[in-house]
Structure 1
Amino acid sequence: MIRLTHPDKPLYADSIHVTKRRLLDYWRRVAPFALPHLAGRPLSLVRCPKGGGRPCFFQRHHARGMPPGLRAAPISRDGKTEEFLTLVDGAGLDGAVQMDALELHIWGAHVDSVERPDRLTFDLDPDESLSFEEVKRAARDFRALLEAAGLTSFVMLTGGKGAHVVAPLEPSLDWTTLTAFARGVAMRLAAEEPARFTAIMTKSRRIGRIYVDYRRNERGASAIAPFSPRARVTPSVAAPIAWGELTRIERADAYTIDSMERRLASLRGDPWDGYFDLRQSITPAALRMFAAEGL
């Protein structure tokens, strides 16, 4: 068992009961649900030595002196091999807490098949002027579009102001093909409803619209992991929910460390029931439907 340094240090200004020890307890309680999404993937940590809402920094490479639960994953990049971070069990979650990591971000592939992504993610990031009702409507639009491509998807509140729509995949395509498909889906919606969506990062194009970040599906990109806390003033968490629950949700930061624990205790199963049982792929027909727009 890991020995925490400064276990009573508050991590969130508006929730002083959420200490380093409390964060460790949270991860241990949600680990049965969270680890299947986290384990064996390249990992990035958002480390916040002074707590949420204060200056933080990303770390995605392994280094000497790290807790033993965080391991090195050698991955080739631009002709060089780099040692990225990964974890395989709860000891890695303990180690992340010890390093003052509030957020855990994951790649869309596992380290043992890093060139074959197995996760499709769309990050729906609304302009500040938009209500969460618009985000919910957008998430349903993406669900319908992916269903037309033969893909079952799941929705997650980001713990910030948006939502992720995620589809598990068989690791059969390369990154270039997946990115082209994702871009094609995003561009299709942006072209059909330009007043609602943009797939272009430029700030001026995002005013009054939802920015569809399809670049989460590029090699080396990462997305917030399910159940991860956020590095904000409030201890909100990235919350997987069932599609049927979306109607009654009022905010993307609706769940916190405390309420997520209560939620999981009251559920009879995983909020993303069936996620790991799905065996689905982006078909040649779906690639023809969308990927050409992404090239």
Structure 2
Amino acid sequence: MKCHLRQEFVVGGFTRAKGARLDVHSLLLGMHEKDGSLRYAGSVRPYFSSRAATAFVARANAVRSGSAAFYNLPKPEKDRDYVWIEPSIVVECSFLEWTPGGEVRHLVFHAVRDDKPAAAVTEETMVAIEGGEPVEIDAGSTREVPGPKGSLRIAGLRITNPQRVMDEVTGHTKRELVEYYAAIAQWALPHLHNRPLALVRAPDGITGELFFQKHSETGRIPGVTELPPELHPRHPPLLVANSEEALVGLARMSVVEIHTWNAAAPDLEHPDRIIFDLDPDPALPWPAMLEAASLMKVALDEIGLRSFPKTSGGEGFHIVVPLTRRQGWSEAKAFARSCEAYGAGRAAAIFGSARPQESRRKNFIDNLRNSRGASTVASFSVRARPGIGVSMPVAWDELREISRGDDWTMPKAVERQRSLKEEPSQGYWQTQQGITAAMRRAVGLV
């Protein structure tokens, strides 16, 4: 397993969506050289809550600067505004490694540090430890330390019953589940950010009784935060997981599956994606599932929508269509239903409706996940099914290489992500598309 490094960085600025006033997309991090100059070292998504983002922007505005403090400027990003500040704010991040060019790879934000002056932040060097003496582990580390009998600590949290078998088919334990969510956090968190959660817990393993949870219920889960009650009136506060600690905290509570809404806080009234769930008839061969996914992509391309596939971790595929937040739930749901009908019309021999009695030996396109409050298993989530597969984002040109919907296990998912030069869903975050009048006409939605 790869070890992650960790240290403080100086914030020399931040980016936000063009025209936004309070948004914080990425922090621009720097490192002091020996001569006192500030070298740009990379950017990191902080995943602030709305309150924390407001507080950070207020603090940054107090030290705004008309020019960058870095002697080497970051490469500009399209559709981003750059805000430069005096290098006085310190944050702590973990990362995989330094590049030869002096930047860092795979940064993960942990916290703002107020206990260390910015001028003291320099690149830390590793030293050899002689004599084999045990090294004290920082409480925020993702490394393991022994805990009380029958427990251990991961990411600073005590994990009880780590040897409990969660899946009898693979023998995977609770410890392995927690380690997986800690290892995959940097890739999973963008897909979870500020999205209300629906959780599937398996306290006695996936063959035992499963519990579905949307609210805190009995107690607070470490790292998991509650959204303001006014965002979901007449219901208990919804939960969000925006940090590695939150993912480890969920796995610590035996949460196996993580599902999310199609909208993100603070605007839960306008979905920012629609999802098509392709479920195959068990009697169909797998190539028919691949053909169905390909033809659905063709249908969406014809409408003018860019789409991104991921395995469900179970039997089928999910096709995700990102949208700008211009449409309400009823419009998005009606459009998804019309897209389903359009796709079924384009490939009637393969697609069927969501009614099994009318669709024997066909693939079912389920658009019912596009209602307010409905949820879909998140990218990189484990599934509470024998073999506990992972819902994995893939590229369209990889489709023929996939042999089943649960092709990726936890170890394979982490190995794959660490080996990729570019994520298959990389273009997802830059896609700006809405439901236009022409698209509605194309699918027969008047």
**TM bracket (short chain):** over 0.9
Q: Does 1:96 align with 2:250?
A: yes
Are 1:68 and 2:222 counterparts? yes
Rounded Cα–Cα distance in structure 1 between residues aligned with 2:364 and 2:230: 30
Q: Following superposition of structure 1 onto structure 2, how do residues 3-14 of structure 1 map, counting pairs within 5 Å?
A: 3-14=158-169
The reply on whether 1:22 has 2:170 as its aligned counterpart is: no
* 1:127 corresponds to 2:285: no
CA-to-aligned-CA distance 1:237-281 (integer Å, 9 cap, x gap)? 001111111111111111100111111121112121211111111
User: Does structure 1 residue 273 correspond to structure 2 residue 426?
Assistant: yes
Q: Is the 8 A contact 2:194 2:264 kept in 1?
A: yes
Change (3 A) 1:75 1:15: farther
User: Taking structure 1 as reference, are residues 64 and 223 closer, same or farther at Cα in structure 2, changes over 3 Å only?
Assistant: same
The one of 3, 6, 31 aligned to 2:185? 31
Match of 1:188 in 2: 342
Give the number of the structure with larger relative contact order, counting CA–CA contacts within 8 Å between residues 6 or more apart: 1
Residue in 2 that maps onto 1:232: 385
5 Å matches for 1:212-227? 212-227=365-380
Aligned counterpart for 2:292 among listed residues 119, 123, 138: 138
Looking at structure 2, the residues matched to 132 and 66 of structure 1 have their Cα atoms a distance apart, in angstroms, of 42
The answer to whether the 8 A contact 2:299-2:342 is kept is no
Partners of 1:160 and 1:252 within 8 A in 2: yes
Residue 194 and residue 273 in structure 1: after superposition, are their counterparts in 2 closer, same or farther (change >3 A)?
same
**Matching of residue 245 in structure 1 with residue 391 in structure 2:** no
Q: Which runs of 5+ in 1 are unaligned?
A: none
TM-score computed with the length of structure 1 as normaliser: 0.93
Within the alignment, does 1:148 sit opposite 2:286 as a pair?
Answer: no
Percent identity of equivalent pairs: 36
For residue 68 of structure 1, report the CA deviation from its aligned partner: 2.9
Moved over 6 A (4+): none
Q: Which residue identity lines up with residue 10 of structure 1 in the other structure?
A: V
Change (3 A) 1:129 1:171: same
Partner AA of 1:228 in structure 2? S
Q: Is the 8 A contact 2:186 2:244 kept in 1?
A: no
Question: Which residue identity lines up with residue 8 of structure 1 in the other structure?
Answer: Q
The CA distance in 2 between the partners of 1:121 and 1:105, in whole Å, is 13
* d(CA) in 1 for partners of 2:236, 2:269: 15
Structure-2 separation of matches of 1:277 and 1:189: 25
Query: 2:340 is aligned with what amino acid?
Result: A
Partners of 2:312 and 2:390 within 8 A in 1: yes
**Alignment match, 1:46:** 200
Mapped contact 2:231–2:266 kept (Cα < 8 A): no
Kept in 2: contact 1:132–1:252 (CA 8 A): no
SS of aligned partner of 2:339: helix
Give, as a single letter, the amino acid of the residue that structure 2 aligns with 1:206: S
Distance in structure 1 (CA, Å) of the matches to 2:369 and 2:444: 16
Per-residue deviation at 1:190?
2.7
Greater C-alpha radius of gyration: 2
More helix by percentage: 1
Amino acid at match of 1:286: M
Give CA-to-partner distance per residue, 1:210-263, whole Å, 9 cap, x none.
111101111111001001011011121001111111111111111100111111
Q: Deviations over 1:93-118 (max 9, x none)?
A: 11211111110001000021100100
Q: TM-score w.r.t. structure 2 length?
A: 0.62
Answer yes or no: is the 8 Å Cα contact 1:47–1:102 preserved in 2.
yes
- The change in CA–CA distance for 1:289 and 1:115 in structure 2 (over 3 A counts) is same
1:168-198: CA deviations, max 9, x gaps? Answer: 1111110000000000011223344444222
Q: Distance in 2 between matches of 1:280 and 1:116?
A: 14
Contact 1:199-1:214 at 8 Å conserved across structures: no
Q: Secondary structure of 2:400's partner? A: helix
2: CA distance between counterparts of 1:53 and 1:245?
32
Preserved contact between residue 52 and residue 234 of structure 1 (Cα < 8 Å): no
Structure 2 CA distance for aligned equivalents of residues 9 and 291 of structure 1: 53
Which residue among 387, 395, 413 is the counterpart of 1:260?
A: 413
On the 8 A contact 1:103/1:224 being kept in 2, the answer is: yes
Q: CA deviation at 1:76?
A: 5.5
Q: Give the deviation of 1:70 after TM superposition.
A: 1.8
CA–CA distance in 2 between the matches of 1:236 and 1:53?
15
Deviations 1:7-44 (A, max 9, x none): 1212110222x221211111121111110001200100
CA contact (8 A) 2:299 2:346 kept: no
